[in-house]
Amino acid sequence: MKVLLIGTGGVGEALAVVAQRRPWLEKLVLADYNLKRAREVRQRLDNPRRFPVEQVDARDKKQIVALARKHGVDLIMNAVDPVFNEAIFDAAYAAGCHYMDMAMTLSAPHPTAPHSQPGVKLGDYQFERAAKWEKKGLLALVGMGVEPGLADVFARYAEKHLFDEIDEVGVRDGANLVVRGYAFAPTFSIWTTIEECLNPPIIWEQGRGWYTTPPFSEPEVFDFPEGIGPVECVNVEHEEVLLVPRWVKCKRVTFKYGLGDEFIGVLKTLALLGLDKKEPVRVKGVAVAPRDVVAAVLPDPAKLGGHMSGKTCAGTWVTGTKDGKRREVYLYQVADNAACMEKYGVQAVVWQTAVGPVMAMELLAEGVWQGKGVLGPEAFDPDPFMARMAGYDFPYGVRDSWAGG
């Protein structure tokens, strides 16, 4: 398989590191607006000739199409902030390539009732074009990271093997990561974090459909495994809620994230000051988006690994019945930062995000997963993915409980 990777930030770098020795990978083009960064990533890889470097503006559809055709790629892998998704998604279609991303096209709040009704939903732009992709015989695999991505595979696996009837699919993400030496240092893209945390969270219920709530609503304490322990989690806008109900039969879907009071306080302050805005404002004759300024002044998550310690957990909590008995299952994957730095030289959050897309590429390259149109991870058989996780040093755990036992 030949792949054009758009974006060589933290996740893009981790993706290249994970994929580099896989026999199905013929070529991975490292494309980034920052050519120096792309070259730095290539220097980390075993066989630089398999990893050509290109400069690209992720907003420029024609430029992306030209690169895809120049290298004869089979798939375009989107590893940049989702503000660029529409251009890259459309470029893949124009170039006749398959497409994969880890976050879907952006939402827009309802103009009059943002905290009760959805406006433009995550992925609407892509799903509205599904018929065109299907007619052309192309696949756009959307939301294929860890959350979304692995969490969605877990939901499909639970439906297939663990439950007769599902009441709720609830993705729960928590960590005990600490970043030393910084007053405030997000471990993932602050641009994306602001987007998903300050937008109205979305929930899906059978018979009601999708609806929204105020940010940081419905706090609950969730006990995470492998020493992380209890973490307060709140509702956050996330793709799983838009994807799971399309393929998994259930009564409710939620996503809750363990942010912590300090992080929530910073996000609320950014919103209060208007620094969360992605629309440009003029400052001394220069147009600049406030959110881009925030991202520029904060430390680069890709370079924080040596300052970090602790673990991060991504998982899917499912409740329902099996054989007439109540059942509750939490399927999860825990990444330890020390282990990720020692084995892969990248921090835990970006490594955990990158493994799932590489595994999906393998399944597509080998023809194990096949499809056309715009599909989420739930549209595919989860068993081959789950079977490969150990071979990618990406083991999963299962916390299972039955009513009365």
Q: Are residues 155 and 280 in the same domain?
A: yes
Say if residue 200 is in the same domain as residue 316. yes
Residue 108 domain-assigned (yes or no) = no
Residues 63 and 154 both lie in one domain: no
Local structure of residue 149 (DSSP, 8 states):
B
Residues 35 and 179 in one domain: no
Residue 12's domain comprises 2-100
pLDDT at 114: 96
- State both tokens at 112: 């009059």
Closest of 101, 222, 112 to residue 171, by C-alpha: 222
How far, in Å, are 71, 225, 265, 295, 369 from residue 262 at the CA level? 46, 23, 5, 18, 42
- Specify whether 75 is located in the same domain as 185: no
> Based on the structure, what is the number of domains in the chain?
2
**Could you tell me if 164 and 95 lie in one domain?**
no
Q: In this structure, are 89 and 238 located in the same domain?
A: no
Calculate the dihedral angle through the C-alpha atoms of 242, 244, 246, 249, rounding to the nearest 10 degrees. Answer: -140
Residue 51 is classified by DSSP as: S
pLDDT (0 to 100) of residue 182: 86
Is 384 a member of any domain? Answer: no
Tell me: do 96 and 171 sit in the same domain. no
Judgement on whether residues 187 and 265 belong to the same structural domain of the protein: yes
Distance separating alpha carbons of residues 295 and 233, to the nearest angstrom:
24
- In a domain, residue 261? The reply is yes
pLDDT of residue 48: 81
Q: Which of 62, 78, 100 delimits the end of a domain?
A: 100
CB 79, CB 6: distance < 8 Å: yes
283 in any annotated domain: yes
CATH of the domain at 313: 3.30.360.10
Give the angle subtended at the CA of 98 by the CAs of 370 and 367, to the nearest 5°.
Answer: 25
Q: Are 189 and 295 in contact (CB under 8 A)?
A: yes
The answer to whether 251 and 205 have CB atoms below 8 angstroms apart is yes
State residue 329 phi and psi, 5-degree precision. Answer: -130, 140
- pLDDT for residue 404: 52
Instruction: Based on the fold, state whether residues 84 and 166 are members of the same structural domain.
Output: no
Residues 85 and 162 in one domain: no
pLDDT of residue 120: 97
Predicted confidence at residue 260, as pLDDT, reads: 86
First to last CA, the chain: 48
- Residue 226 has a CB neighbour count (10 Å cut-off) of 13
- Token pair of 214 as six digits: 């105020």
**pLDDT at 91 (0 to 100):** 98
Residue from 339, 386, 245, 300 nearest 11 by CA: 300
133 domain residue, yes or no? no
- Name residues whose C-beta falls within 8 Å of residue 159's C-beta, 6 or more positions apart in sequence: 166, 248, 249, 250
Contact 340, 349 (CB under 8 A): no
User: In this structure, is residue 116 part of a structural domain?
Assistant: no
Domain boundary among 100, 116, 132: 100
SS3 4: strand
Output the domain CATH number for residue 60.
Answer: 3.40.50.720
Q: DSSP strand E in 20-157: where?
A: 27-32, 53-55, 75-78, 98-100, 139-141
> Measured between alpha carbons, how far is 353 from 338 in angstroms, rounded to an integer?
16
Whether residue 156 is found in the same domain as residue 231? yes
Tell me the mean pLDDT per 10 residues along the chain, length 405: 97 97 96 96 90 97 98 98 96 98 96 97 98 98 97 98 98 95 85 90 97 96 96 96 98 95 91 91 91 90 90 98 97 97 95 98 98 98 97 96 70
